[in-house]
A and B are shown apart, each in its own frame.
Chain A
Amino acid sequence: MATVNEIPVLPYGVGRITRGWLGAAALLVVLLVVGVFAYSRQFIHGEEVTGLFDVGTRGGAPWGLYVVFVVYFVGVSTGLMLIGIIAELLKIGHMRSITRIAEGLAIISLILGALSVIVDLGQPLRGIIGFFQYARPMSPFFGTFTLVVSGALFASVIYLFLTLRPDAAILAKRKSGLATFYKWWASGYKDTPAERARRERSSIWLAFGILPLRILAYSTLGFVFGLQVGRPGWQSALQAPGFIILAVVSGAALLILVAAAARRIPGARDDLSIPTFSWLSNVMTILLMVYLYFLLAELLTSGYTSTQVGWRVTSSLLTGQFAVLNWISIGMLVLATGMGGWQMVRRNYSLSMMVAAGGLVTISAILQRYLIVVPSLTTGALLPYEEGSYTPTLIEYGVVLGLVALGTLMFLAFLKVVPILAIQKESD
């Protein structure tokens, strides 16, 4: 650990490998290896090693945990991007400090989302090439893969690149092992007022561009489900908006968790202050209410109007094989809403309570995705197939764990090259 009076060349621990960091990284590498091993089993033997199986006579779910995490990761990424961009556009001062975390996380979870897609494929190598070689815009998957994965990732990286240039310019001037890197990043940017204005403008334009793109892209992921005539329980106009809402909610939740953790980074604590968190908490709470309303609306419509089969899916959630998960998940959401609402009303925010709510929401958001993906597959058959079942295997958990480890590792690495909070403080 650096001593307090030693002023580091680079802020926020950038460039400095501490023992704690190393320990965490080592642990993550182990988990990653577990994930890679799990995936290697799957790669060699096929998805036989997962709990996935065909709908219909085989009574399974061909999509499971991987798709759940595709939806979750991409959702978080979308949510974070939206939060970051909105904060940027609305020039919410105290949010400025957190946009960098949001942007970094957004990119990482997008990468994880893309990887989740790949691990879900039966022919992953073909998949990587095939998506580009044979991409068909008519498929809602086109939205997911082509727009989300390539388009959004590209745009987000550019966006981050641009927003980081002023800091890079500053850091490039300091003596450190990373100086050349920052010089390259700054790429001639000198932080003159003119330049600053130009950068400001272009990133705003970019933000404006990314916003609808991300909304659209994530909506298509909703349409991946919502457009399916063959799957009662999915086919709903609320599917896409619901996806977006839940995306922002889960983004906010994750951001609360990560930002709270980031307060431990030397020098970051002051900037990551309660108002930042309370803003996030409020966004999360309000959108949670909207989401809960959507859930209720969904339930009522499917309960009232649905066909026999549609009702089968609904009742599997209310009383059937998914009831326990569903009620736990809804309970967690309600609790988180309550916690957020209570703080909002009292205008008195407690960090630990916000973190707790963020945790509840994060878990529940994953469960919500599970409850969207799986029940309709196992219980939503339109022909009289018997009810199916799906239980993820250790391999699937292992792979997901590996992905999460990879993401965390990437974030840790991110911390070591990019100042977690903007250095170049703008005049508010």
Chain B
Amino acid sequence: MPKYGMTIDLDRCTGCRACMVACKIENNTSQTAFWMYVFRLEEGTFPDAKVSFLPRPCQHCDNAACVKVCPVGARYKRDDGIVATDWDRCIGCRYCEVACPYGVNYFNYKDPKKGQYMDWKDPDIQVATAGVVPGWSNPDLDNKFGSENRSIAGSNHIKGVMEKCTFCVQRVEKDMSPACVDTCPTHAIQFGDLDDPNSAPSIAAREKSGFKLLEDRNTQPRVTYLGSTFSPGAREIERPSVRE
């Protein structure tokens, strides 16, 4: 059983947010849901201002606060370390979200198909989209995954359930890297088996010292940040659209 994990090299990240868009398209998340989010941060005052970037996927914690609180086991940790959300079982209590220190959970406050950016009912567009919403809708997401055979991939399923980064389980189970990892222009994000010393994140982690986000919360994340440290006093600039 692989032990999946991720490294994010803050020295390489340019804050471009390609990972955010790749995640959206791959996982069909709806408007304003950013399973991957990249903070653009600033601290200090002119001329000693300092700009920095911090990509934030789900940390797939080994001691996951979200898993512990889920009353029905919809949020669970797979053997390979992926923290999954079974959208077929989730009752929508949003407890995982409240418990997670990282703010990575996104709830379907409405039918996710209603937040898919465009008017997909347009008859001319349906010629190309065959009526699916969104037009780029990824059919892999409807599959079931793992030996547990559970519905844990992607977004855009039903209202009233919780969602978050899945480590792109639908890709990982096909031996592909997650969408954010593949698209990252500067190769700042690496994903793979942490037990394999030759995996990309193992190599990256050997080359540089790293830290975990909010280590003091003892959530034991599977995401390791490399290079520069993150300063909690930083102020966010350039926020995307957060409410529709």
Question: Are the C-beta atoms of B71 and A139 separated by less than 8 Å?
Answer: yes
CA distance A145 to B71 in the complex (A): 9
**Within the complex, what minimum Cβ distance (angstroms) separates B155 from chain A?**
13
Q: Which residue of A46, A63, A117 is within 8 Å of B160 (Cβ)?
A: A46
What band does the interface of chain A fall in when counting residues whose beta carbon is under 8 Å from B? 35 or more
Residue of A47, A120, A123, A136 with highest tally of chain B CB at under 10 A: A123
With A and B bound together, what is the CA distance between A154 and B2 in angstroms?
46
Instruction: Say whether B92 contacts A383, CB under 8 Å.
Output: no
Binds B, one of A86-94, A100-108, A225-233, A294-302: A225-233
Interface mask (B200-244 → A, CB under 8 Å = 1, otherwise 0): 000000000000011001110000000000001111100110110
Question: Are B110 and A45 in contact, CB atoms less than 8 angstroms apart?
Answer: yes
Interface mask (B144-170 → A, CB under 8 Å = 1, otherwise 0): 000000000000000111100000000
Q: How many residues of B contact A (CB 8 A)?
A: 55
Contact (Cβ within 8 A) A384 B234: yes
CA of A56 to CA of B100 in the docked complex: distance in angstroms? 10
Name the residue on B nearest A225 (C-beta).
Answer: B98
Per DSSP, chain B at the interface is: loop
Complex CA–CA separation, A47 to B161 (angstroms): 10
Assess whether B107 is in contact with A54, with CB atoms less than 8 Å apart. yes
Cβ proximity bits B68-102 to A, threshold 8 Å, 1 near / 0 not: 11111110000000000000011111110111111
Q: Is A359 an interface residue (CB 8 A)?
A: no
Q: Does B137 contact A (CB under 8 A)?
A: no
Residues of A within 8 A of B195 (CB): none
List CB contacts (< 8 Å) of A105-129 with chain B.
117, 120-124, 126-127
Q: In the bound complex, what is the Cα–Cα distance between A165 and B70 (angstroms)? A: 41
Q: Are A138 and B68 in contact (CB under 8 A)?
A: yes
Chain B nearest CB: distance from A393 CB in Å? 12
Instruction: Give the residues in chain A near B69, CB-CB below 8 Å.
Output: 139-141, 228
Q: CA of A137 to CA of B239 in the docked complex: distance in angstroms?
A: 39
* A383 lies within 8 A of B39 (CB): yes
Chain B residue at minimum C-beta to C-beta distance from A132: B72
Collect the chain A residues with CB atoms within 8 Å of residue B101's CB. 229-231, 382
Q: CA separation between A238 and B101, bound complex, in Å? A: 20
User: Does B4 belong to the interface (CB within 8 Å)?
Assistant: no
Q: How far is the CB of A120 from chain B (nearest CB, A)?
A: 7
Q: Give the distance in Å from the alpha carbon of A134 to the alpha carbon of B68 in the complex.
A: 14
Which of B54, B72, B239 lies in contact with A131, CB distance below 8 A?
Answer: B72
Within 31-73 of B, Cβ neighbours of A (below 8 Å) are at: 32, 34, 37, 39, 41, 54, 56, 65, 68-73
Contact A230 B98 (CB under 8 A): yes
Complex Cα–Cα for A382 and B70 (A): 21
Asked if residues B235 and A384 are in contact (CB atoms below 8 Å), the reply is yes
B9 to chain A, nearest CB (A): 19
Q: How far is the CA of A190 from the CA of B2 in the complex (A)?
A: 70
A22 on interface, CB distance cutoff 8 Å = no
Nearest 7 pairs between A and B by C-beta? Answer: A122-B92, A56-B103, A122-B160, A230-B101, A48-B110, A141-B71, A134-B72
**Chain A interface residues (CB < 8 Å from chain B):** 45-48, 50, 52-60, 62-63, 117, 120-124, 126-127, 130-131, 133-136, 138-142, 145, 224, 228-231, 308-309, 377, 381-386
- A127-B91, A135-B71 given; name 8 further pairs at CB < 8 Å: A57-B240, A59-B243, A121-B160, A130-B91, A139-B68, A145-B71, A229-B219, A383-B213
30 contacts between A and B (CB under 8 A): A46-B108, A46-B109, A47-B92, A54-B106, A55-B105, A56-B103, A57-B242, A121-B160, A122-B92, A122-B94, A122-B159, A122-B160, A122-B162, A123-B90, A124-B91, A126-B91, A127-B91, A127-B93, A130-B89, A134-B89, A136-B70, A139-B71, A228-B65, A229-B101, A230-B98, A231-B101, A384-B39, A384-B234, A386-B236, A386-B239
